[in-house]
Structure 1
Amino acid sequence: MAGGERTFPRKRREEMLRVAAELFHERGYAATSTADLAERMGIQRGSVYYYFETKEGLLLELIQDVYGRARASLARVQAGDGDPVAKLRALIEDHVISFTTNLIPGALVINESGSLAPEHRDRVRADAAAYEAGMRELIEEGRRAGALRADVDARLACMVVLGATNWVHRWYREDDERTPEEIARAFSDVLIAGLRPQTGTSSPPLSSST
């Protein structure tokens, strides 16, 4: 019985996060109230505060969970075998798969991070900066090894990769004819190819310098 009592609040909390994510995605964070959440779940409004002190606490946890998974993926990739390009490919594919299999939380990171209070925005920005720094280092390692273009600007290349992969939530649908893994592979093929050394061409350098 005691085990069941411990499990029930955890399951209800997880359900609350899932429903809150759906509502924030459907209506926007600002337009969603705790009363809306309670109504969707069929509970009293006061019950929401048993699990979360504020509405923002729900949004913060949803966003932090996305970054937590991203940083865990980065750590796995960094600790794994393979050259820098293989690791970069794995990170790109993990990112795309995460955004296609967790569409709503990923969309909230992109669309609603600005709704957080300044101190909470700073917290998630620190997570984002750590993830971006890890990706940039993989690009730098690939460049130093000669596996990626010598003229590549790692910061700009990182922004290109994230700009492409973060936008998946705008067009991907669960009934897409391609699996998340297939889409992830296609993304990594295109993005890595753009960073590979090009022979016999006079294309301008991928650099942020002017």
Structure 2
Amino acid sequence: MGRSAIEARRRAALEEGNVGYLARRQEIIQAAKNVFRERGFEATLRDVAEVLGTDRASLYYYVGSKDELLQEIVREALARDIAAAKAVQKSKASTPDKIRELILSMVKSYSDNYPHMNVNTEDLRRYSHEKSDWAVEVITQTREYEAIVMSILNKGRTEKTLRRDLPVNVSALALFGMINWMHRWYRPTYPVAPEEIARTFAEIYLSGYAATE
């Protein structure tokens, strides 16, 4: 069967939304996540197929490429990140404690979703110039997350638990820059636990940004 015919079957199956088909597709995505984590994004579809005990050709009925697998993994991770940020936003904790929770959730996301979030961060600038549905979606999700963080920081300024003499947009960029730079050095073998990384980041950030009596 030609590639175009397989693609047509895959699109039709996705539109139909059969429970069994979607469950198998999710199983493949989860297997790919584990393979990429263990072997890096250099791993191939053949590696994923071997883990599942099938052949690479069989995967094409469910996913079109390794890039599509990455996109699905990142889409799910970003959705979880947004849900976590919204939960922090709605909590009754103080703004500094909300920032600590945000930082912990971001660091944990890098750790739990390695190397997918690393690849996503490296490619984010390229996405911003693309017009594909995937590029639009990931940029929209990123902007939604940024808006939640900005809302939390602005509330802290209003409540005077954060400094008001520092530009909030620059302060937000400092927070994102600190976390996103992890793609340059974080690996699962890094000798410091994600929780300790998050605590360190929070202490450094709030030491300069939290308001003092």
Contact conserved, 2:45 with 2:65, CA < 8 A, in 1? Answer: no
> 1:100 is aligned with what amino acid?
S
Kindly report the root-mean-square deviation, in angstroms, between the aligned alpha carbons of the 2 structures. 2.9
The answer as to 2:51 corresponding to 1:37 is no
Contact conserved, 2:95 with 2:156, CA < 8 A, in 1? Answer: yes
Question: Is there any run of 5+ residues in structure 1 with no aligned partner, and where?
Answer: 28-35, 200-210
Cα deviation digits, residues 4-52 of structure 1 (max 9, x gap): 999766434421344367777337xxxxxxxx41255334332121221
Specify whether residues 88 and 77 from structure 1 end up closer, same or farther in structure 2 by C-alpha distance, changes over 3 A only: same
**How do 1:23-34 residues align onto structure 2 when only pairs under 5 Å count?**
25-26=41-42
Specify whether residues 5 and 51 from structure 1 end up closer, same or farther in structure 2 by C-alpha distance, changes over 3 A only: closer
Q: 1:122 pairs with 136, 151, 158, which one?
A: 136
Specify whether residues 69 and 101 from structure 1 end up closer, same or farther in structure 2 by C-alpha distance, changes over 3 A only: same
Identity of aligned residues (%): 27
Cα deviation digits, residues 73-107 of structure 1 (max 9, x gap): 10221222212221122111211122123221211
Contact conserved, 2:49 with 2:59, CA < 8 A, in 1? Answer: no
Specify whether residues 48 and 117 from structure 1 end up closer, same or farther in structure 2 by C-alpha distance, changes over 3 A only: farther
Q: 1:134 pairs with 148, 151, 167, which one?
A: 148
**How do 1:30-179 residues align onto structure 2 when only pairs under 5 Å count?**
36-38=44-46, 41-42=49-50, 43-113=54-124, 114=126, 118-179=132-193
Question: Is there any run of 5+ residues in structure 2 with no aligned partner, and where?
Answer: 1-19
Give distance in 2, aligned partners of 1:147 and 1:158: 15
Q: 2:200 pairs with 159, 169, 186, which one?
A: 186
Specify whether residues 57 and 21 from structure 1 end up closer, same or farther in structure 2 by C-alpha distance, changes over 3 A only: farther
Q: How far is 1:72 from its partner? A: 1.4
Q: How far is 1:55 from its partner? A: 4.3
Give distance in 1, aligned partners of 2:25 and 2:69: 15
Q: Which TM-score applies when normalising by structure 2?
A: 0.75
Q: How far is 1:138 from its partner? A: 0.8
Contact conserved, 2:157 with 2:164, CA < 8 A, in 1? Answer: yes
Of the structure 1 ranges 129-138 and 86-95, higher mean CA displacement relative to structure 2 is found in: 86-95
Specify whether residues 50 and 23 from structure 1 end up closer, same or farther in structure 2 by C-alpha distance, changes over 3 A only: farther
> 1:90 is aligned with what amino acid?
E
Aligned to 2:30: 14
Give distance in 2, aligned partners of 1:181 and 1:68: 21
Give distance in 1, aligned partners of 2:141 and 2:87: 16
> 1:191 is aligned with what amino acid?
Y
